[in-house]
């Protein structure tokens, strides 16, 4: 089973104060810690678990600047066989369609064989959730999104999809296919010291746009279908109300507030 897993290096804003860039097109990333996208980590783990069960290879691909190699090295340390990073400064500001096109061109240019392509269900920095389905359409293969369980059959794959309201859909796809992975499908393993050492010896190839047969006019804002006009932080419309007094007094006041608003 040959698998390609697409990953993204994203800023970790969990405990950081987010600031908008002066051009209002993105956030200020200087000083923010960067890490593998959460959904992609589950996708990478699932790829490696399938490889361990059935054999084959796992190739990790990212579209990003040099610092994104930290994410690729992490996936290599977990058990991927090789990694590819694609970047050009003109890719800055690309939307999901452009990223999907770059990934498709990379797979085709390198002649990568695959039975399965895995991506995260969405990215933590933009939340668009479009790269996976667009990549599948560009490659002409079937896809399923928000996958929380999979079973490899003879030439097919059965997947369980998470739907709204706690519902679950079970579908079967012909291989090769693409799946976007939901968090919780597995428990990502820790990166071991031995894994880090082995990762240093595994191939990590860096490609330019010309290497995959693309030009600057096809990427970035010029090649994108979607343009971010303005990014802003939501305004704080209300402030927290502090209820003074003893626990009994606080409870009585809280009960009064809830009743006045028709909540109980």
On whether residue 70 sits in a domain, the answer given is yes
Domains of the chain: total = 1
Domain that holds residue 181: 2-223
On whether residue 249 sits in a domain, the answer given is no
Residues of the chain whose pLDDT is less than 50? none
Q: DSSP string covering 168-206, please?
A: EEEEEEESSEEEEEPTTSS-PPPPPHHHHHHHTTS-EEE
CB 166: neighbour CB atoms within 10 A? Answer: 6
Q: What is the pTM of this model?
A: 0.86
Sign, Cα dihedral of 50, 56, 60, 61: negative
Nearest to 178 by CA among 119, 233, 226, 231: 119
What are the tens digits of pLDDT across the range 104-117? 999 999 999 999 99
On whether residue 76 sits in a domain, the answer given is yes
What are the tens digits of pLDDT across the range 36-86? 999 999 999 999 999 999 999 999 999 999 999 999 999 999 999 999 999
On whether residue 231 sits in a domain, the answer given is no
Q: What pLDDT is stored for residue 175 in this prediction?
A: 97
On whether residue 252 sits in a domain, the answer given is no
On whether residue 247 sits in a domain, the answer given is no
CATH number at residue 101: 3.40.50.620
Whole-angstrom distance, CA of residue 7 vs CA of residue 124: 12
Q: What pLDDT is stored for residue 10 in this prediction?
A: 93
Q: What pLDDT is stored for residue 61 in this prediction?
A: 98
On whether residue 238 sits in a domain, the answer given is no
On whether residue 114 sits in a domain, the answer given is yes
Residues 117/173, Cβ–Cβ less than 8 Å: no
CB 146: neighbour CB atoms within 10 A? Answer: 23
């Amino acid at each position: 089973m040959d698998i390609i897993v697409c990953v993204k290096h994203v800023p970790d804003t969990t405990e950081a104060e987010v600031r908008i860039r002066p051009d209002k097109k993105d956030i200020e990333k200087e000083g923010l810690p960067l890490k593998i996208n959460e959904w992609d980590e589950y996708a990478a783990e699932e790829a490696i678990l399938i490889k361990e069960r059935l054999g084959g290879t796992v190739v990790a691909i990212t579209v990003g600047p040099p610092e994104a190699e930290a994410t690729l090295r992490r996936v290599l340390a977990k058990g991927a066989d090789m990694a590819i990073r694609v970047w050009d400064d003109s890719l800055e500001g690309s939307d999901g369609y452009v990223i999907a096109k770059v990934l498709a061109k990379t797979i085709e240019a390198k002649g990568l064989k695959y039975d399965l392509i895995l991506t995260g269900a969405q990215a933590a920095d933009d939340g668009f959730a479009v790269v996976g389905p667009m990549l599948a359409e560009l490659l002409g293969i079937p896809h399923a999104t928000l996958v929380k369980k999979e079973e490899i059959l003879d030439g097919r794959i059965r997947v369980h999809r998470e739907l709204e309201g706690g519902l679950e859909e079970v579908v079967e796809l012909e291989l090769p296919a693409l799946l976007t992975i939901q968090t919780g499908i597995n428990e990502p393993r820790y990166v071991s010291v031995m894994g880090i050492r082995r990762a240093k010896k595994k191939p990590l190839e860096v490609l330019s746009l010309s290497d995959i047969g693309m030009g600057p006019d096809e990427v970035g804002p010029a090649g994108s279908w979607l343009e971010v006009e303005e990014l802003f932080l939501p305004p704080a419309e209300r402030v927290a109300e502090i209820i003074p007094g003893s626990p009994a007094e606080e409870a009585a006041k809280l009960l009064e507030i809830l009743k006045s608003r028709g909540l109980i």
